[in-house]
Structure formats: structure tokens, C-alpha cells
Structure 1
Amino acid sequence: MAGGGNLRVVDTLRLLLLVAALPLVSRGVSRGAANWTQEKNYHQPALLNLSSLRQVAEGTSISEMWQNDLRPLLIERYPGSPGSYAARQHIMQRIQRLQADWVLEVDTFLSQTPYGYRSFSNIISTLNPTAKRHLVLACHYDSKYFPHWDNRVFVGATDSAVPCAMILELARAVDKQLLSLKMLNLKKARIVYNLSYNTADLHKNISDSKPDLSLQLIFFDGEEAFLHWSPQDSLYGSRHLASKMASTAHPPGARDTNQLHGMVSPGLIDLTGFNWSSKPNISQLFPKHCQMVS
């Protein structure tokens, strides 16, 4: 990752930092403007000024990312392997070290593969699970399985250890700001509690004081095909998690909405760190949300 490759990692990391900072500065929308599931279509992100941008960027360190986040991931880690378990533990431990108190969930399941049933585990880290909407950054942490490769090991640095490390680094870089935001919201909730005189007002006011937009980091398992890419042999983790989220009510107790409705501009980072082009390639598959990354 020397030279040009390093610069491309820096460029992409800066972009991720801008996205991660959106919950800190977003203007949001009027409460009565639209159904909450449609608010993402009207969301107006605030622009960071130069001083704020510099403050966020100064918290990043490529050398720390390389040493603390990336190096432990440069191992063979296909689903069900010892390396997969080690990578999963590493990702979770790095997140658990953060002060902002992310809520971790491991989505473990069995799925049929060309080599029989295999175990897969997605990692979902949510800053505030009670928020209606979550700005999602995702990557996959598994590596491609090569059963016969002349005794060599495929570690998948760009595909996709580097994106995992970048997401971990950005979470560390904005940790203090996210913690401050959580403390501010907690303080507001306490004020609301002290000013409420009956249970009905209490629940209504606390609900109104909850942050409407938060962050969610997803590390998928089983993105790679075991043999040949097909609808059945690929995307094991994302297919399972999408199905699970579609059947999970959100907010809790809702009848007509699920966790997928709460996703805002999901961004998938993949194949990062190579030297194929002068800058990262951003595929804008959702035109309504291009303003979030343009």
C-alpha cells in the first residue's frame, strides 16, 4: 500500500469521515414534513466548514490504521475458518474499545454451500439502536476460498481487509465527537424527564428528544463465492441479514415498518487500496441520495 495506493486509501478515508460526521451536523427535516420512512428523501445534510473538517480529519492516522486495524486482518479468513473467527474477534474488540458505547450484534447462521453447510457470522454495530434512521457503512470481512492454490494463502487485502480497517479507523477518529453527542442527548432526555408531570407527557417528550439519525456499521461474512459467482453461491451474509431485517419490526412494536425502512444511503466499501485508478470509484446506485457523497 505504498505510494499511490496510500493516497487512494487516504482519499477514501476522508470521504468516509465526511459521511460519518453527518449525524453530528445534519439539519434533519421537519417532524410533520413526511412519514418517517420517507424522511431520508428530504434529509438536508449540513456542510462541514473548513475548521470542522480539519478537526475531524486530524483525528485519523494511516499508520495506526495499518498497525492496529489492518495487520491483524491480513490472514486467510474464509467463512468457518479459524482466520474468520480471529478476524471477527478483532473487529469486535476494536469496536468495544471505543468510548461511544456502540451496541454490537452478531448474526450467526448456517447456509448451504457447494461444500455443504457452513457457518456465517455478520457483525452489526449500531451507535444508537433506538434512532429511527441509521446511516449505514458496510464492508465484508471474509476472504475468497481457494482450496488448491500451491500452498499459498489468499488474504484479500483490498478485498476486503482494507475497507474493514478504514471503517474501524473512522469509528475511532470520531469517537470523542460521537460520545459528546450521546452525552448531549442524554442530558436533554434528563431535562425532559424532570419537566414531565405525567406518564403520557414523559413518553411523548422523551420520544421527541431521541436522536432521529444515527450510525450503523455492518461487517458482512460470506460475500465471496466458494466456487463460481451465482445467486446461490455469493452474498451469503447480506442476503441473510436483509431477510432478517425485513422481518424485524422497527421501531420496536411497529406493524408496517421494519429495519430496512430505517436504512439511510447504505454505503458499501470494497476493493480499496489498489493502484488501478487515480481516485476511488463511487458507484451511485441510489440517485436520490447522491448528495450525501457528491
Structure 2
Amino acid sequence: MGRQMSVVVHSVRSTAAMVPRWMCVALLYTFTAVLGSAGGHDSQDKRSKAVWYRAKFDHEGSGLSNEQLRTVAAMEDMQHFRKMLAPILVPRVVGTEGHTRVRQHLVNTMNSLGWTVEEDRFDSNTPVGRKTFTNVIATLNPDAPRHLILACHYDSKLDREGEFIGATDSAVPCAMLLNLAFVMREVLSQHSKMQSDLTLRFIFIDGEEAFRLWSDTDSLYGARHMAANLEARAYPTNNAIGTNELHRMDLFVLLDLLGTADVKFFNYFEETSPWYMRLVSYERRLREMQLLHARKNYIFQNRDLFHAGIQDDHIPFLKRGVPVLHLIPMPFPKVWHKNTDREEALHYGTIESLNKLMRTFVADYLHLVL
């Protein structure tokens, strides 16, 4: 995770007084786009003729009963999670051997689970020379027109000592996705066979970190490349209604800086408030059922932080109108961008709770048969 910008608190359900611990700079932009905003109303009218495109706007969660929540919570395998995490807990700066090994770990794991895996490789200039980046894209059912996106970055920050691990930033989110695909493999496979128009896609993004000083050109390399590339590719090919690959994204869920015990999320985007509030509700229900690790505070705060201005991999997609649900703690972990961001900083009880909540969200969004 790179840089937090200025924080402006806007709460509907409660007021929040928070003082950022990081340098504040001007807010990059105000988000006013709607999905597929380019082209105006005429383009929107054309796109609305596509059944799969219209379905995104009417989509609602299935709702999970207490029995279904117990079923999802029972899909726990923290031993597998640790197995997935261990190979990622290494320095993985773009262009290094560690980076290559981690990418191959992601590719091999998703291939072994039967997902369709693509490697989006490209070159880009950086302050330290020209580098090759590779986004890893894993799709459950590539034939489905709509995607629920779960995303995180897998590169780590360049430091002088070459020892920065980035356990929270973002080794843990990567391992969470690998673990989710494994423990939910049976219900996900069943969903894929049902030929739904909606599927699950993981994006392991490369080049999130700046090589020197965070800027519009030295950061978010993989996300910037991918968002522009998808927007430029028509879907379906040669269609006359103006839809492109980016329009296939129902919701872009970005995970970052996860793994410490003190994690607290806020609702950062009004457009995706209904989905954030479902997570608020599910956490409270799971906690009442004593299915989450005990803690004093809720992980999902019932408060809004619109205009938080956090710079992360969602930005290039958000600018193009993709709905975003950003799962990043506020404030950032105390180990952020420090060499103490290692396995010793992690709290596995909290990670276990996060895993359960993410499985619950996926089951609800995809209408999985449990």
C-alpha cells in the first residue's frame, strides 16, 4: 500500500474525529462518475440493451440464514492459510527472484484449483529503470459476462536494506484469496456448473508500490495498465452497444494492509454502501453466534468516511466508473512501511475472522448453494 491522502470525515450514522498519522496532501479528485460514464446518456442507453449489463444494477445479495452462516464459517482451514502465506512472506520487489517465485506460487495455486489463469505482462519506465510487470488474473468461469472482483497487490516496497516483507502489505490479502478459493472449491465449482452470468475473479496486481516517491507516474503500475487496457477492449468483441471489458466488473473489492489485531474498516464510497452494510450486518450476526474471534470492537464500523482520499489500486478503476468496495483499515497498521511488517505483527485470530467474513460476502453476492 502506498500513500494516504487527506482525510475528510463524513458520517451519516455517527460523527468521527480522526487525526491522520501521515502527511496530508490535497485530495486528488472528487468521485462523481457513474458506471460507464464515458460517452454520456446515448452510450448508456445503448449499453442498457444488454441483459447482462442491466443485471448488474438490479443485483442483490441472496441473504444467508443462520444455518448457512454456520456452514460458511465451518469452511475454515487456517493450516492451509498458513501454507499459502509462507511462500509470500519474502521480499518481492518487482524484478527480483522473490517476486518471480511469489507470482509463480499464485499462478500454480489457482491453476491447481481449476481456475482460468492469465498473466498480463507489460513493460514500463520507472525511476529505477525499465521494469517488467505481471498482473495475475484468475477467473472461476471465463464464459460468464459479469465478474465479482476480489483484488490485492503482490509486490512489496523497495527499501535500502532489501528486507521489507510487507506481511500486511499485502501478503496476507493474497493468502486470503488463495485460501478462499481452496476452502470454497466445492460450492464454487457447483456455481460454475450452473452457468450463471456472474462469476468470481481474482486480480493479483503488480507494481502497486512506488520505487522512489509516490506520484501519479511512480505507483499503481499494474492497476493503471490493466484499467486502461480493459477499457480499450470491446466486450463482446465487435459489439455495437459500446460495452467493454471494464463494464463486466460488477464490484471491485480491494483488500490491503490486513493481518494485525486492530483492523477497523469504514464505508469509503456511498455508491457501494449497501454492500458495505451487508458486511456490517454479517459481522454482527456471526459475532452473536460466537463464530468470530473475540474482540472489543467491530471490524466493520457502522460509519462513513467518504472522501478519505486513500491512494491504492482501486483508483484507476474508480476513475473509470467501476463500483469499489475498499477493505483497508483506518488508521493504517502501526507497522505500515516499516521492516516490522513481518509475520510477528500478524494476529491469526483476526485473520480467521476476516476469512469467514469474506467467504460470507462471496456466498451472499454469488448466491452460492450452501
Q: Is the 8 A contact 1:221 1:236 kept in 2?
A: yes
Q: Which of residues 175, 191, 194 is equivalent to 1:165?
A: 175
Q: Is the 8 A contact 1:134 1:263 kept in 2?
A: yes
Distance in 2 separating the partners of 1:240 and 1:248: 13
2:69 is aligned with 1:83: no
In the alignment, structure 2 segments of 5+ residues that lack a partner are: 1-47, 278-370
Residue by residue, what CA displacement relative to the aligned partner does 1:186-225 show, whole Å, maximum 9, x if unpaired? Answer: xxxxxxxxxxxxxxxxxxxxxxxx4211111000000000
1:289 counterpart residue number: 272
Give the Å deviation of 1:271: 0.2
Distance in 2 separating the partners of 1:220 and 1:157: 16
Alignment of 1:246-257 (within 5 A): 246-255=231-240, 256-257=242-243
2:215 is aligned with 1:266: no
In the alignment, structure 1 segments of 5+ residues that lack a partner are: 1-31, 186-209
Give the Å deviation of 1:265: 1.5
Give the Å deviation of 1:34: 7.7
Alignment of 1:36-51 (within 5 A): 36-51=52-67
Distance in 1 separating the partners of 2:186 and 2:124: 39
Q: Is the 8 A contact 1:41 1:289 kept in 2?
A: no
How many residues were matched structurally?
Answer: 229
1:132 counterpart residue number: 145
1:243 counterpart residue number: 228
1:198 counterpart residue number: none
Q: Which of residues 53, 56, 71 is equivalent to 1:55?
A: 71
1:95 counterpart residue number: 110
Q: Following TM superposition, where does structure 1 have runs of at least 4 consecutive aligned residues deviating by more than 3 angstroms?
A: 32-36
Going from structure 1 to structure 2, the CA distance change for 1:283 and 1:111 (only over 3 Å counts) comes to farther
Residue by residue, what CA displacement relative to the aligned partner does 1:115-173 show, whole Å, maximum 9, x if unpaired? Answer: 11001000001111221210000000000011x23xx5111100000000011111111
Q: Which of residues 143, 149, 153 is equivalent to 2:156?
A: 143
Distance in 1 separating the partners of 2:192 and 2:89: 33
Letter paired with 1:109: F
Q: Is the 8 A contact 1:76 1:143 kept in 2?
A: yes
Going from structure 1 to structure 2, the CA distance change for 1:117 and 1:75 (only over 3 Å counts) comes to same
Distance in 2 separating the partners of 1:176 and 1:162: 23
Distance in 2 separating the partners of 1:71 and 1:212: 35
Structure-1-length-normalised TM-score: 0.74
Distance in 2 separating the partners of 1:283 and 1:115: 36
Q: Is the 8 A contact 2:126 2:211 kept in 1?
A: yes
Letter paired with 1:230: S
2:130 is aligned with 1:114: no
Letter paired with 2:71: Q
Residue by residue, what CA displacement relative to the aligned partner does 1:223-252 show, whole Å, maximum 9, x if unpaired? Answer: 000001100000000000011111122233
Distance in 1 separating the partners of 2:121 and 2:198: 27
Percent identical residues: 41
Q: Please give the root-mean-square deviation of Cα atoms over the aligned residues, in Å.
A: 1.8
Distance in 2 separating the partners of 1:141 and 1:62: 20
Q: Which of residues 193, 196, 199 is equivalent to 1:211?
A: 196
Give the Å deviation of 1:283: 4.2
2:11 counterpart residue number: none
